[in-house]
């Protein structure tokens, strides 16, 4: 809908976007903090899931809400809208905690700059892996 700020300085820009069903949202540049290295029990890249401990309280809340309302989709699952019926069916077989853990991991990957298409593919693999009992 519009862009405000100094177009020569990315850090000052704010874009207002009209999202169907959600109204107008503002998006702005934010530097992504560098990883502090691998965590115990997890790696620092997509195969290990990054460090979801770096999420903001708002992002943790988003992960929790999306775990309960998994049919609606959320900002980091890699789908532009709701997930397709076959993914919803698989998600319904996971516990709320499993979905929340997966959501935290996906938000972290989004924060690290992973694109939507790659997140979608990764999300689908992680859902399948969770159903098989592996992580």
Domain ranges of the chain: 1-31, 38-131
Could you write out the three-class secondary structure of 4-16? ECCCCCHHHCEEE
How far, in Å, CA of 32 to CA of 36, rounded? Answer: 12
Beta strands in 20-120, from DSSP E residues, in sequence order: 23-28
Closest Cα partner for 116 from 75, 87, 85, 82?
Answer: 75
Question: Each residue's pLDDT tens digit in the chain (135 positions)?
Answer: 787 777 777 677 777 777 777 677 777 766 555 444 433 333 434 444 445 668 999 999 999 999 999 999 888 999 988 999 999 999 999 999 999 999 999 999 999 899 999 999 999 999 999 998 754
Q: What is the pTM of this model?
A: 0.61
Residue with the two structure tokens 């959501």: 103
- The H or E element containing residue 17 is strand 14-19
């Amino acid at each position: 809908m519009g862009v405000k700020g100094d177009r020569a300085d990315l850090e000052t820009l704010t874009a207002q976007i009209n999202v169907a069903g959600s109204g107008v949202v503002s998006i702005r540049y934010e530097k992504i903090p560098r990883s502090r290295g691998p965590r115990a029990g997890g790696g620092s890249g997509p195969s290990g899931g990054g460090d979801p401990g770096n999420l903001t309280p708002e992002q943790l809340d988003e992960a929790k809400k999306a775990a309960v309302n998994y049919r609606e989709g959320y900002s980091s699952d890699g789908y532009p809208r709701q997930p397709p019926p076959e993914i919803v069916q698989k998600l319904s077989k996971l516990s709320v905690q499993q979905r929340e853990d997966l959501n935290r991991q996906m938000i972290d990957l989004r924060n690290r700059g992973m694109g939507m298409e790659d997140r979608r593919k990764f999300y689908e693999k992680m859902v399948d892996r969770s159903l098989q009992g592996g992580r």
